[in-house]
Amino acid sequence: MKKIIILILAFFAFCVPAFTPMFAKEYKAKVQYIHRENPSHFHWGFLIGVSAMDFSVKMDKKNLSWNDTLYSLGHKFAPGFTVGIIGNMRLHKYWDLRLIPSLSLAERTLTYNMISPAGEPLVDRKKVESVLIEIPLDIKWKAARMINNRPYVVLGVRYTGDLAALGKKKDDSNEDYEMKIFRNDLGFSLGAGWEFYMPYNNKICLEIKMYFGLRDLLNRDNNIYCNGIDRLTSRILQFNIMFENN
């Protein structure tokens, strides 16, 4: 999955911009919606989006069969929802600096495949609900404009705070145990998008972005649900629709 996403982003980042100057010259004479010779250095907007959240799990092979019970751990992307505010500073004709504080809601699931005391297969799922405050700081590079649209790529760092994270440990039994993750995370993101210029100095942007967390988020307890995990990091795939003035 990660390789496919990286290949898609690499296509946007290197292939599409290479062809945009040719198309920009071809359509130079056509009418454009926005005619500002000197766009403002600051502008604002908002975004709405959908996301797919998941954990990247590195297993601890020494403890994978803790008490000869746990033998594998599964995880997959789960849908989420995002809203945010866009603050954009124009650095150059083709370069922008962006701050996009956002709120994301999602629920991720870890699936534990175990052997019961009777020797039968047992599946136990632990859900991790997340209410994320995200503060990404991105550098945006824009290609040459083609009439009323143009592609771009973004690269940045992001702080993420999970308001639903369980910060205190409890002595829960295995049956009622709730997974606990740390509240704060820091990581990087990369993505690509396309700007569509609209009348009255507005534009709509379609963007796909992938976030990779760097911190081990697992708040460990000494039980079967934690001992088999060496490292638990966050990853988020987002598709955003952005509405901006210019």
Domain ranges of the chain: 2-26+41-245
The pLDDT assigned to 223 comes to 79
* Residue 220 pLDDT class (50, 70, 90 cuts): confident
Distance CA 136, CA 1 (A): 23
Higher pLDDT, 221 or 182: 182
Q: Between 43 and 224, name the one with better pLDDT.
A: 43
| Mean pLDDT of the 101-118 span | 84
- Give me the percent of the chain exceeding a pLDDT of 70: 74
In three-state form (DSSP H/G/I as H, E/B as E, the rest C), the secondary structure along 150-201 is: EEEEEEEEEEEEECCCCCCCCCCCCCCCCCCECCEEEEEEEEEEEEEEECCC
d(CA 150, CA 155): 17
Phi, psi of 60 (to 5 degrees): -90, 100
Phi/psi region, residue 49 (left: phi>0; alpha: psi -120 to 50; beta: rest), is: beta
Output the six-digit token pair for 45: 């907007």
Contact criterion met (CB below 8 Å) for 50 and 104: no
| pLDDT for res 87 | 95
Please name the fold of domain 2-26+41-245.
Porin (2.40.160)
Q: Give the mean pLDDT of 198-223.
A: 90
Mean pLDDT score of the chain: 81
Task: Using only the alpha carbons of the chain, give its radius of gyration.
Answer: 22
Element (H, E) at 18: helix 16-26
pLDDT above 60 for 24: no
218, β-bridge pairs: 181
Percent of the chain with pLDDT over 90: 43
Categorize the per-residue pLDDT at 88 as very low, low, confident or very high, splitting at 50, 70 and 90: very high
3-state secondary structure 59-115: ECCCCCCHHHCEEEEEECCEEEEEEEEEEEEEEECCEEEEECCEEEEEEEEEEEEEE
Statement: residue 196 has pLDDT above 60? yes
Cα 198 to chain centroid distance, Å, stands at 27
